[in-house]
Structure 1
Amino acid sequence: MLRGVRRIERQVDDLVESLKLNKEKPPKKCPTGFISIDNWPSCYMFSSFDMSWYEAKDYCAAFDSDLVSLGTTREHFIVTYFIKNNKEYNDAAGWWTSGSFVSKTKQWMWTAQLFLKPFSFIKWAPGEPDEEAAQCMVVAGKDDHLWNDELCILRYNFVCEADARAL
């Protein structure tokens, strides 16, 4: 099992090296303040301050974006790699995503823009989700950037995601 984990870690390291993060001069397809990644369909803006989940969704909407939907394992590793390896961001307690528990369907879903999409993979921390009242998903710094459920009124940093192809 340990060999499998090491192999995955090497693959993630190789992937991140090949993506070449470009913060200084984003291409024209990303809004100002967003980070572009070569050959990747999304742009990201990492907050340097905290807000409730609702405020963070509104903030992202003001930039024609939404809270990040970590739709693939690859995207999860890209976003968390950037957080972990950026001194400005790696001390944050957590990062809001668009993940939310939808009572009507009784499942966790990405709630970005005008669609609801069930999680296609999960990266919950051990014992999570653990609270029925906690309806919003955060990438938790204390749990090595795995997912936790939290009350939506709590304040965390957040990641906005914009579709690079549409810009």
Structure 2
Amino acid sequence: MSSSLKDVKNTVEELRSLVQSLSYKLSLTNALTSGCTGTEWIQFSNSCYLFSSHSMNWTQAKDYCEEQGALLLKIEEGSKKEWEFVTHLAKPFEYWIGLTDQITGQWRWADDTNCTMDKVHWGPGQPDDWQGHPHEGGEDCAHITKFANINDNHCSTKMKFICKGPKDS
């Protein structure tokens, strides 16, 4: 019985967190959508962000963002405000970002620029290139976790994703 009560408490806490996150996203969407294509895009600074509601593998997410005239999220070097904006809106979900070491073995953004992001954003012990997936190979693609840090994961995993594009003129 105590196990069931604990499960209910965890579910209630997850729902509370989700409602809080959605309320915040709605307030931002209503206040900041001008300058962005479509109502699902959220403006922050000089860019527009799409927090997907559907899941894809990393390559599909990258291609989808490019079809929208955007990139899978690239967090600008040293932008604490952008990091806080993105991670606050991402909670309590996990989202692919445009970071991979799949091609060169070095972490690079989807636009092929070097990753110079502060290591403090990675989760403890990450990236670890864990090899225990049922799919061949290790973890070569990065995502933002529900704990507001970055983790590497197998690129074939399906999850939500964040696109970032220019603000409309």
Q: TM-score, normalised by structure 1?
A: 0.71
Aligned length: 132
Query: Whole-Å Cα distance in 1 between the matches of residues 98 and 37 of structure 2?
Result: 19
Give the C-alpha shift of residue 22 in structure 1: 3.3
DSSP-derived class of the 1:107 partner: coil
Give the C-alpha shift of residue 42 in structure 1: 1.1
What is the RMSD of the two structures over their aligned residues, measured on CA atoms? Answer: 2.1
Q: TM-score, normalised by structure 2?
A: 0.70
Q: Which one has the bigger strand percentage?
A: 1
Give the C-alpha shift of residue 30 in structure 1: 1.3
Structure 1 equivalent of residue 107 of structure 2 = 108
Query: Whole-Å Cα distance in 1 between the matches of residues 103 and 58 of structure 2?
Result: 17
Structure 2 equivalent of residue 80 of structure 1 = 87
Long gaps (5+) in structure 2:
1-26, 131-137
DSSP-derived class of the 1:81 partner: helix
Letter in 2 for 1:54: T
Long gaps (5+) in structure 1:
1-20, 85-89
Q: Which one has the bigger helix percentage?
A: 2
Per-residue CA deviation, residues 122-165 of structure 1 (Å, 9 max, x unaligned), is: 31100111116211001012xx121100111101110110122x
Give the C-alpha shift of residue 103 in structure 1: 4.5
Task: Provide runs of 4+ in structure 1 moved above 4 Å.
Answer: none
Structure 1 equivalent of residue 13 of structure 2 = none
- Call closer, same or farther: CA 1:102–1:51 in 2, change over 3 Å: closer
DSSP-derived class of the 2:89 partner: helix
Structure 1 equivalent of residue 117 of structure 2 = 120
Counterpart check, 1:47 vs 2:45: no
Letter in 1 for 2:160: N
